Each structure stands twice: as structure tokens, then as C-alpha cells.
Amino acid sequence: MRWFLLHDRASVFVEDDTWYLLVHTTCKHLQSNNMCGIYHTRPQICRDYSTDNCEYEDSWTYEKYFESPEQVVEYVEATLGAKNRGNIRSPEPPMLPILNSV
């Protein structure tokens, strides 16, 4: 999450123990009339996107909302304690065994 927040115009929020990424930018192909400039050749992700489940409330508030990597560190310190600040990553998984080719 901290990596995402190092990028311009991104934020993270938590709702019902699920973390979400918000990207506060407009598509570079969005025209001044709010129409897609590459509609007929748009990528598959755009074709699959739907606004059916979008929420348009301006007064929406979030359980937890982060705009900077420092806020994530503060949250981790507050919830897990300062002793965990040095390593908030999951443990590294063991190496896979090397198989001999026959």
C-alpha cells in the first residue's frame, strides 16, 4: 500500500476489513465532452468496466483513509506497535527445491 501512495493522486481506504486503491486521475483519452477518444479501439479493461456499482456520494466517509505512505506507517505503529515498524512485510517464503532434469 505504501508503494501505491508514493505515486501522484492515489489514496487507499479500508471498508469492512477490505483495502481499496483509489486513483484520482482522468484517462488520457477522455475528451473535453467526456467521451472516450479511442472508444472503438479501447483496451479490454475499459470494455469490461461498468459503473453499475459505483458510488457517487460526495459526503462519503471511510473507516480508514490514507493519502501518504507515512500515514500507513503511523497506522501500523498504532495497531501493531512500534516494535514492528522495521519489518511490516510477510515472512519470505522458503525457496522451492531444485529439480534435476532427467
The predicted structure's pLDDT at residue 102:
61
Cell triple for residue 77? 505503529
| pLDDT(97) > 90 | no
Alpha helices in the chain (DSSP H): 2-5, 44-48, 69-80
| pLDDT(73) > 80 | yes
> Tens digits of per-residue pLDDT, 5-62?
988 889 999 888 888 888 888 889 999 999 999 999 999 989 998 888 776 666 677 8
- Cα–Cα distances in Å, from 86 out to 17, 18, 78, 97? 23, 24, 14, 29
